[in-house]
Amino acid sequence: MYMFSIFTSLLLYFSGVYVFSSKRKHLLMVLLSLEYIVLSLFMLIIVFLIEFDYDYLFPVIFLVFSVWEGALGPSILVSMIRSHGNDYFFNSFVLSLC
């Protein structure tokens, strides 16, 4: 069961990295793939801590920072959509250069 959990969380991590690298034009897809990566890393951390019987303080701190990142991303997305009209990276960089 331990190896299955590690394999599953690593598979989730690498699929999140693939989506992050392939869908990098839309800010919303980048934010969703980052959240997917964070959740897979959290799952991997929990599996390791359960297996080696360590303290659970680090996952709480990790969740605090992941929630902070999860709240900051949509606020940047809303700000970008209000100022540029869409969430394409290409259009925002072209508009900021003019």
Quick: pLDDT tens for 47-96.
999 888 888 888 999 999 999 988 888 888 788 778 777 766 665 554 45
Q: How many domains does the chain have?
A: 1
Q: Domain with 85 in it: what CATH number?
A: 1.10.287.3510
Residue in the block written with tokens 């190896």: 3
Range of the domain at 48: 2-97
Radius of gyration (C-alpha) of the chain in whole angstroms: 17
Residue 98 confidence class, pLDDT cut points 50, 70, 90: very low
- Is residue 17 within 8 Å of residue 37, measured between CB atoms? yes
Which residue type, as a one-letter code, is found at position 37?
Answer: I
**Separation of alpha carbons 71 and 77, rounded Å:** 10
Give me the half-sphere count of Cα atoms (radius 13 Å) on the Cβ side of residue 49: 13
> 74: Cβ–Cβ under 8 A, 6 or more apart, which residues?
31
**Separation of alpha carbons 79 and 98, rounded Å:** 19
- Joined together, the tokens standing for residue 11 give 């598979």
